[in-house]
Structure formats: structure tokens, C-alpha cells
Amino acid sequence: MIIVKNASHLAPQISQWKREGKTIGLVPTMGFFHAGHLALMQEAGKQCNKTVVSIFVNPRQFGPGEDLEKYPRSFDRDAQLAKEAGVDLLFAPTPEEMYPRGYQTSISVQNLSKGLCGQSRPGHFDGVATVVAKLFNLVQPDTAVFGEKDFQQLALLRQMNADLNFGVDIIGHPIVREKDGLAMSSRNQYLDRDERKTAVCLYKALQHGIKKIAESQRIPVVKLIEELQDIVNEGQGCRADYIAVVDPATLESQEVAQKGALVALAVFINDKVRLIDNAIL
Ligand code: PAF
């Protein structure tokens, strides 16, 4: 596996693969790999001849007071795991490489970044769209694979890809879960033992929503959200940042919850860790 830390070294390798007619699959990540990341890498490997994984804890997508400094990092372990997963190239630029002095451009996907996580994390999705656009330009992938846990991110990146004519085939990979249902996330490692147990309330709430719709077909969203809120509140120290039922394509709020709608939630555990999850009803 080739490890590249700067863009000027990346370009010749990408050009060579393009000349050889190889297709390139990109998995953008912030590192600290878990089974969810490895599944994305395997998917990229299935789709394309060459797999590129980027590791970059992108400062522009963290707000003031968020976890940029303490975000878990483990480069050597990640490199080993990526190698074992059959990744061809690991791109791990520094913040100075991505945002050199004088950098001033930002990409904003206007409507899709307003609701859900966008409300409590202003600027977050501009940071995501900007860094992914840069990665698309640097890696020139045929395909890019993202996890569906970050459903809003995926919707917004699809929109950016279409709006800015990147022409990348964007693939969403289903959420990979722990045995008890907790969605895999690098942030799960902030949880202590008790918090880890209570964090399953996100999954429990989603399962409740799915069951309700299977039984009743259509339920007023206000009522469903109340029930999901109760389940979240049963978790010791759990506080919902939001619980929403939206159209999965437009992310617009729905009044009636029914089959095919997306239920998404973000929950603070002990006001310390913020986790997200979602499911199609
Ligand atoms: O999902 C993530 O890990 C990040 O938001 C991404 C897509 C790598 C951009 O920094």
C-alpha cells in the first residue's frame, strides 16, 4: 500500500492509474477505523480497480467547542487495517497541505445543510462539502463510498456532485452496527462502560418507529416523535438534540410518518458525546 502525505506526490500516481485505464474508488475518512470504515473500503474495492482512502481530520467541519483536538487519531493502526483491507493508496494530508496560508474558498450546499445536524452544527456541512470537493479534485475518483449513518452528509454530497458536475458515482453503504444495534462510530470510543450501554437508546428508538409503522402504516409525526423521545429519555443521561421524520431525498420534515420516510436522531449522552443514527421506516 502506498502512503502519500502531500498532493504533489498524489498527482503522478493518479495520472499513472488513469493512463493505465484503471478505475479509482475513493473512501474519504477521518481515520480511527472501525468495521464500518472497512466495509466502505471493501465496497470501493468491489467497484473499482484501485482503492484510495483518505484520512484527514478536517478542521473546517468542527465548530468552536467541538471535539477537533480530542478526535481519536491512530495513524499506524489505521494504515495496518487499510493495508489488510486491500487499499492501494492511503492519502493522509496535513491541515496546512489542504488549507495553505491564504486559502479562502468554501462550498455551501444551501438547503440540504439547514435542518437536522445543520441546526446544531452551523458551518459543519460547508466544511464537509469543501473538503470532499477538494478530495474529488485531487483523487479524481470514478466512485466514492460514504456511510449511510451520516445520511444528511450523503444527501448533500450527492447534490454537490450533481451541481458541480463532478461526475463521481456516489455509493451509500448501509450502517454497520455493533451486536446490540449501536451504529459504529469513531466517537463511540468516548463512551465509558455505562454510557456505552445506554447509547443503545438511539437504536431502540429507531426500532420502535419501524415497528409502529409496520403496525399502523401512518402515524402523525408529532405523536411518533413523542414516543421516540420517551425511549431516548429512558436512557440514563440521554438527551435528544433532535428527532425528525423527513423525506429521504429532500430532507424536508413530514407531518405524517409512513413507510419510506427517514427517521433521524442525534442524542447527547451525559452532555459529553453526541451520537447520530437513522433508519428508513
Ligand atoms: O464522514 C466523515 O468522516 C467526514 O465527514 C468526511 C466525509 C471524511 C469529510 O471530512
CB-CB contact of 170 with 132 (8 Å): no
Q: Helix crossing, 151-163 with 124-139: angle to 10°?
A: 50
Q: pLDDT for 41-67, tens place per residue?
A: 999 999 999 999 999 999 999 999 999
Distance between Cα 128 and ligand 1 center (Å) = 6
Residue 206's pLDDT is 98
The closest alpha carbon to 211, from 281, 161, 138, belongs to: 281
Residue nearest to atom 6 of ligand 1 (CA): 29
* CB count in 10 Å sphere of residue 66: 13
Residue nearest to atom 9 of ligand 1 (CA): 128
Instruction: Using CB atoms within 10 Å of the CB of residue 42, give its burial: 0 to 12 exposed, 13 to 18 middle, 19+ buried.
Output: middle
Q: pLDDT for 155-177, tens place per residue?
A: 999 999 999 999 999 999 999 99
Residue 144's pLDDT is 99
> Which secondary structure element, helix H or strand E, spans residue 268, and what is its range?
strand 262-269
Q: How many CA atoms lie within 13 A of 239 on its CB side?
A: 7
Backbone angles phi, psi at 14, to 5 degrees: -65, -45
Choosing from 9, 37, 124, 208, the catalytic residue is 37
Does the annotation count 37 as an active-site position?
yes
Please give the span between the terminal C-alpha atoms of the chain, in angstroms, as a whole number. 40
Distance between Cα 28 and ligand 1 center (Å) = 6
Residue nearest to atom 4 of ligand 1 (CA): 29
Residue 71's pLDDT is 96
Residue 92's pLDDT is 98
Distance between Cα 266 and ligand 1 center (Å) = 17
- Mapping DSSP to helix (H, G, I), strand (E, B) and coil, where does residue 75 land? helix
Ligand 1 touching residue 28 (CB < 6 A) = yes
Q: pLDDT for 18-46, tens place per residue?
A: 999 999 999 999 999 999 999 999 999 99
DSSP state of 186: G
CATH topology of domain 186-280: Pantoate--beta-alanine Ligase; Chain: A,domain 2 (3.30.1300)
Average pLDDT over every residue of 78-96? 98
The structural domains of the chain, with segments of one domain joined by +, span 2-173, 186-280
Is the Cα torsion angle 229, 230, 234, 236 positive or negative in sign? positive
Residue 269's pLDDT is 98
Q: pLDDT for 88-141, tens place per residue?
A: 999 999 999 999 999 999 999 999 999 999 999 999 999 999 999 999 999 999
- Mapping DSSP to helix (H, G, I), strand (E, B) and coil, where does residue 169 land? strand
3-state helix, strand, coil in the chain (%, to 5): 40, 20, 35
Average pLDDT, the chain: 97
Residue 39's pLDDT is 98
Residue nearest to atom 8 of ligand 1 (CA): 29
Which residues, other chains included, contact 139 with Cβ-Cβ below 8 Å and sequence gap of 6+?
10, 14, 24, 26, 52, 54, 91
Task: Give me the amino acid identity at 105.
Answer: T
Q: pLDDT for 207-238, tens place per residue?
A: 999 999 999 999 999 999 999 999 999 999 99
CB-CB contact of 266 with 120 (8 Å): yes
Residue 184's pLDDT is 98
Residue 8's pLDDT is 94
Strands 256-258 and 218-220: antiparallel
Residue 111's pLDDT is 96
Q: Can you tell me which atom of ligand 1 is nearest the CA of 128? A: 9
CATH class of 2-173: alpha beta
For the entire predicted model, the pTM comes to: 0.97
